[in-house]
Chains A and B, each alone.
Chain A
Amino acid sequence: MAAPARPPRGRHRDQCIHKPGGDLRGRTPWQRLRDTSFGADTVHAGAVAQGTRSPGVAGLSEATSMAGHSSDHGVVMLVGDSGVGKTCLLVRFKDGAFLAGTFISTVGIDFRNKVLDVDGTKVKLQLWDTAGQERFRSVTHAYYRDAHALLLLYDVTSKASFDNIQAWLTEIRESAQPDVVLMLLGNKVDSAQEHAVRREDGEKLAKEYGLPFMETSAKTGLNVDLAFTAIAKELKQRSMKAPSEPHFRLHDYVEREGRGASCCRP
């Protein structure tokens, strides 16, 4: 698999983002993006919780509302190299099934819908599945900006898919909303094949970029529902202007709930 070699396209996005204060030097680009957009006063993308939507399109980021997206949907996009198991993970989550040898390669972009119950509130997730092959990025990158959350996958049995994560992060940084919810997943952890990527490697990378991280298995279901539930909880919280419940912390949640999972703070 060819590495997604993309020349860095400058840092213009970093420069455009409003800086709430604090020295951002010495942080990774991704951390800087998070720093600048995760402040308490920031308006977050994705008003996803039904019943919490105010007529003023509460909580919709500018780009999202320009795109006219209905505000009661959380758009979750799955990205990662070809064959890492994006579709399998989605199907496991949506239908609770894993039927070996029944999956076809995703071409272009595909979509599925799922309604989740998050603490008594219905959260509608629109799940966008993407083709992993590099050339399809020219087709799919236009969708990054509409995504409220991104699940970035690699395959623990494929070193190449892990090595490409950096390139994926660059792509995401260039095209996605700066406050997009992002999670790193090492999939196929059930595999009897030798794991080419150790869990510590995934943890280390996640820590470097300040991402929640879990190892998952679409085959056994390990941590699959948890990953999506965590995303839904985060999106639900962001959709509420003044959350009545205690502040939800994605990192803590993943760390606490993940089975054999871990989460790394920067």
Chain B
Amino acid sequence: MAWLLPPVSLGHSSCGVCSYLACSTADTHIRVDPYGFEQPENLDSADEAFLSAYPAVLARRAAKWSRLLKARGGVRRSPTVKRYVRKGIPLALRAHVWMALSGAQERMDQNPGYYQRLLQGERDRSIEEAIKTDLNRTFPDNVQFRKTAEPCLQKTLCSVLLAYGHHNRGVGYCQGLNFIAGYLILVTKNEEQSFWLLDALVGRILPDYYGPAMLGLKTDQEVLGELVRAKLPAVAALVEGCGMQWTLLVSRWFICLFVDVLPVETVLRVWDCLFNEGSKILFRVALTLIKQHQEFILEATDISDLCDRFKQITRGSFVTECHTFMQKIFSEPGSLPMTAVTRLRERCRARLLAQG
């Protein structure tokens, strides 16, 4: 259980998460979290308090999960599993549960050797070059992604993205997938599983976010605008009143599925639900962030200030305390039936297509 371990000091950048304890005596100390991300020298006292309390929560959840798996002999979607997932999947089980709930495991089992064949086939140079441009620019603050790391996750990332680009030619490579695949690799520590999970996300869970027209992405940003208009009209009035488009404020939220927007642990908790409940969860997170900070947003004095405030609301103890945050996303935004989301998506999509 990674989060049972406190942040540790790393001697040099070549250590992987599995061996980091061995390096704590070296001269140069870098504080990293259990995923290999560098941490600030001085954590916020609120963050420290949370970090010391959260392991107990995780231990309790881990015990419950272990009993559930033992009793059922596996994970299938059910109301109980949904409740369990919302309360968090322990890191050690995360890859297994994501694979099972998203259908990725099934696809992987049905297509033995497929991933390797993708990597052995002829390569599209434009896809390869686009991926290589981003390798050094993916998690430079993570010691496992450094060129000098052993094993170097940059190479793993490159393979997963290459395979995916050739598997789904309609998407190829889209910036943002590097961050998503990067997190999948950090969680699964397995190239092939990361590939199939990426396939589940891009191919089935998210509606056309990454294709050349990015229509699904643009649609969902419009949908968020509609939801804010319905649920938080004052914020919508402010944003629209100053001619702001939602893309400028939230594009990264959707494209990167909150990677590098919210704290790592919070992102992974969001993804737990994303793999089980689908893309609707992204609206819940966005709406919760906006609702919680409604007054703060409404104090914006001009456009620059508004943009800044939308960055600030993704930081601080509200989002670091992921356990409470995840409870809030299911209570704060109120009811959000899938039928309503589907209807809004259809309407916004038609509007975008009409605009050309």
Residues of chain A having any CB pair with chain B under 8 Å: 1-2, 66-70, 72-73, 82-83, 101-111, 113, 124, 126, 128, 131, 133-136, 138-139, 142-143, 146
Contact = CB atoms under 8 A, between A and B. Distances in A.
A133 B133 CA distance: 10
Given A66-B243, A70-B242, A107 B303 contact: no
A110 B245 contact: no
Interface in B135-180: 136-141, 174-176, 178-179
B141 A102 contact: yes
Contacts of A113: 304, 307-308
A146 B243 CA distance: 10
B175 A103 contact: no
Contacts of A105: 133-134, 137-138, 175, 178
Given A2-B126, A113-B308, A108 B260 contact: no
Interface residues of B, number: 39
A111 B251 CA distance: 11
A102 B140 contact: yes
A61 B73 CA distance: 66
Interface in B206-227: 210-214, 217-218
Contact of A108 (B126, B140, B252): B252
A135 B213 CA distance: 6
B51 interface: no
Contact of B304 (A73, A102, A142): A73
Closest 5 CB pairs of A and B: A108-B251, A67-B243, A68-B243, A105-B137, A83-B133
Contacts of B255: 107-108
A221 B137 CA distance: 20
A84 to B, nearest CB: 10
B140 A103 contact: yes
Contact of A135 (B134, B212, B252): B212
Interface string B285-299: 000000000000000
Interface of B: 126, 129-130, 133-134, 136-141, 174-176, 178-179, 210-214, 217-218, 241-243, 245, 247-248, 251-252, 255-256, 260, 302-304, 307-308
A153 to B, nearest CB: 14
Contact of B248 (A2, A106, A107, A143): A143
Contacts of A139: 214, 217-218, 247, 251
A73 B260 CA distance: 28
Contact of A104 (B137, B214, B242, B251): B137
A69 B303 contact: yes
Contacts of B307: 111, 113, 126
A1 B126 contact: yes
Contacts, number: 101
Given A67-B243, A111-B304, 9 more contacts: A1-B133, A83-B133, A101-B140, A109-B248, A133-B175, A135-B212, A139-B214, A139-B217, A146-B243
Contacts of A146: 243
A68 B248 contact: no
Contacts of A109: 247-248, 251
B130 A69 contact: no
A143 B213 CA distance: 16
A138 B255 CA distance: 14
A97 to B, nearest CB: 14
B140 A107 contact: no
Contacts of B176: 107-108
B136 A133 contact: no
14 contacts: A1-B130, A1-B133, A68-B242, A73-B302, A104-B138, A107-B251, A108-B176, A108-B252, A109-B251, A128-B248, A133-B175, A135-B214, A138-B212, A139-B214
Contacts of A108: 176, 247, 251-252, 255
A136 B260 contact: no
B318 to A, nearest CB: 22
A105 to B, nearest CB: 4
B137 A142 contact: no
Contact of A136 (B129, B211, B214): B214
A224 B1 CA distance: 47
Contacts of A124: 304
Contacts of A134: 212
Contacts of B245: 142-143
B168 to A, nearest CB: 14
A117 to B, nearest CB: 17
A146 B133 CA distance: 29
Contacts of A106: 175
B247 A126 contact: no
A61 B245 CA distance: 19
B247 A133 contact: no
Contact of A107 (B126, B179, B213, B218): B179
A72 B242 CA distance: 13
A101 B142 CA distance: 11
A128 to B, nearest CB: 8
A48 to B, nearest CB: 12
Nearest to A111: B307
Nearest to A106: B175
Given A69-B243, A131-B175, A135-B214, A107 B252 contact: yes
